[in-house]
């Protein structure tokens, strides 16, 4: 009910109606005679956005005056550190993926009487999938670096 009130109104009046069983309905049209207007006004209470010239990069979002600036060489060093950390994480995830694949293969090779194989190997498959997703995410982060 609150979500309806939070949305910008498309009609000028919003009505609150109560049915015979005591239920409440919020609508932009009067459904019954007992409906009461709860919001009445212009179509939108939000101000129109200010138009800005189409620019790109830092000029579109200038830093406030007095905002600390980072030297270019300092930023390059930080980016290098970040790349190094991400490469270490990638190597670790690749090792973990290989281990998870090995454990999955071992579980798939096991045959026991009365064993529900799919239920038993599902956690191993999930682990392999998680490591694969982690590797993709780290590779995406690495590709976003300058």
Determine the length of the chain. 146
Name which residue leads in pLDDT, 28 or 9. 28
CA distance 26 to 37: 10
Query: At 9, is the pLDDT very low, low, confident or very high (cuts 50, 70, 90)?
Result: very low
Q: What percent of the chain has pLDDT over 90?
A: 35
The model carries a pTM of 0.52
- Residues 100-141: tens digit of each pLDDT: 999 999 988 887 766 777 888 899 999 999 999 999 999 999
Q: In 3-state terms, what secondary structure has residue 62?
A: coil
- C-alpha distances (whole Å) from 82 to each of 104, 117, 131, 136 are 32, 42, 20, 17
- Residues 69-78: tens digit of each pLDDT: 889 999 889 9
């Amino acid at each position: 009910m609150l979500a309806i009130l939070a949305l910008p109104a498309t009609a000028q009046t919003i009505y609150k109606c109560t049915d015979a069983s005591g239920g409440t309905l919020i609508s932009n049209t009067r459904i019954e005679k007992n409906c009461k207007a709860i919001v009445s006004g212009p179509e939108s209470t939000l101000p129109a956005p200010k138009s800005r010239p189409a620019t790109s990069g830092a000029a579109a979002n200038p830093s406030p005056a007095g905002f600390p600036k980072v030297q270019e060489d300092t930023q390059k060093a930080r980016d290098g550190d970040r790349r190094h950390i991400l490469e270490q994480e990638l190597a670790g995830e690749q090792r973990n993926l290989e281990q998870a694949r090995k454990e999955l293969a071992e579980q798939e090779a096991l045959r026991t009487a009365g064993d529900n194989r799919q239920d038993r190997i599902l956690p191993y498959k999930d682990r392999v999938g998680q490591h694969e997703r982690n590797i993709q995410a780290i590779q995406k982060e690495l590709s976003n670096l300058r």
